[in-house]
């Protein structure tokens, strides 16, 4: 128990480095990580090496009842949901939303473990402007330190599965919105994201990336365990489970559902205005959302697709060869056998 009377939760999972041979292959493809990768617990959650140092801090983080967390496997509609939540909770103040980056309004709980010390040095050596150097320094710090000091309502993004989230979230009654998206669209978008972020620095082709994804060797994997944990938690009173596919099919309905979960009332006109603000076209033009501050710091590559892509459902992009599509079909069938979980588009 700490000095404030809060119960301290000891991290309950074993952390081990991946096999040496596998690690060397991964480091050859993911240039943003310089040390290696770890796997956590019996589920073998996959993370860069810095997770080992931060695990106790993540798990022991003290949530507040007023917190709102958006959780998902990467590329499942996280950014879309974050902006929706922030706007609903802040009186649809689009001017305020556009004036401050979403990364600041809605901190990414575990981002710092992807900022390897050697990559941070590289970014700093490439940027001499004091404000940019300060930004690099700030995003390299653990978000839990920033959040502990926050006095206003906290909005927190995470890709951690439910089993690795701080137990204090559920004890405090903090709100958690979990978003799931089908694996076909996730893996294509995730491939492009890992090429975009130099902190990941993926340099292989899509076929190799898909193989890592299916073998649970991409950050925050295993994918199926992740989404099934979210699904299992859907009946908890402080959890709202959503499908990305439903968001795409009927955004106004989703906005109303999220507003109700957050104890907010929106008029039809407000729902319409927020729907327009959240459109893919608006997102691509919104500097507070599309990572301009990350591009300026050279954390994002400029010669690959940007952070906000096309947001499609059931992707048929060139990466999805018939062979990989069949592998996804079989993999999905195997992992959903005996489960009541099903994506709306499958």
Q: Which of 29, 112, 116, 159 is catalytic?
A: 159
Contacts 24+ apart (CB under 8 A), 90-96: 92/266, 92/270, 92/273, 92/274, 92/277, 94/273, 94/277
Contact partners, residue 94, CB within 8 Å, separation at least 6:
87, 273, 277
d(CA 252, CA 274): 8
159 is catalytic: yes
Show which residues are catalytic. Answer: 159
């Amino acid at each position: 128990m700490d000095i404030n009377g809060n119960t301290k939760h000891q991290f309950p999972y074993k952390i081990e480095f991946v096999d040496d041979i596998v690690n060397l292959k991964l480091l050859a493809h993911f240039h943003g990580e310089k040390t290696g990768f770890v796997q956590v617990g019996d589920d073998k959650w996959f993370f860069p090496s810095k997770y080992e140092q931060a695990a106790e801090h993540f798990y022991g983080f003290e949530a507040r009842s007023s917190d709102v967390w958006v959780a998902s496997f990467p590329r499942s509609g996280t950014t879309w949901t974050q902006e929706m939540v922030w706007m609903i909770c802040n009186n649809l103040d689009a001017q305020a939303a556009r004036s401050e980056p979403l990364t600041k309004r809605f901190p990414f709980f575990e981002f710092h473990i992807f900022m390897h010390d050697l990559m941070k040095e590289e970014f700093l050596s490439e940027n001499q402007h004091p404000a940019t150097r300060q930004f690099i320094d700030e995003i390299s710090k653990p978000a839990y330190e920033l959040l502990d000091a926050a006095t206003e309502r906290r909005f927190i993004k995470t890709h951690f599965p439910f089993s690795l989230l701080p137990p204090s979230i559920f004890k405090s009654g903090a709100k958690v919105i979990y978003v799931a998206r089908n694996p076909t669209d996730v893996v294509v978008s995730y491939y492009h994201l890992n090429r975009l972020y130099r902190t990941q620095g993926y340099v292989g082709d899509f076929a190799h990336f898909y193989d890592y994804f299916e073998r649970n060797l991409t950050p925050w994997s295993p994918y199926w365990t992740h989404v099934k944990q979210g699904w299992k938690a859907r009946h908890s009173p402080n959890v709202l489970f959503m499908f990305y596919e439903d968001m795409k099919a009927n955004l106004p309905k989703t906005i109303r559902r999220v507003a109700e979960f957050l104890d907010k009332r929106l008029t039809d006109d407000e729902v319409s205005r927020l729907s327009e603000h959240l459109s893919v076209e608006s997102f691509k033009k919104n500097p507070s959302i599309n990572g301009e501050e990350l591009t300026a710091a050279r954390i994002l590559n400029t010669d690959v697709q940007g952070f906000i892509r096309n947001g499609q459902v059931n992707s048929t992009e060139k990466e999805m060869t018939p062979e990989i599509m069949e592998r996804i079909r079989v993999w999905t069938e195997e992992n959903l056998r005996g489960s009541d979980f099903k994506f709306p588009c499958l």
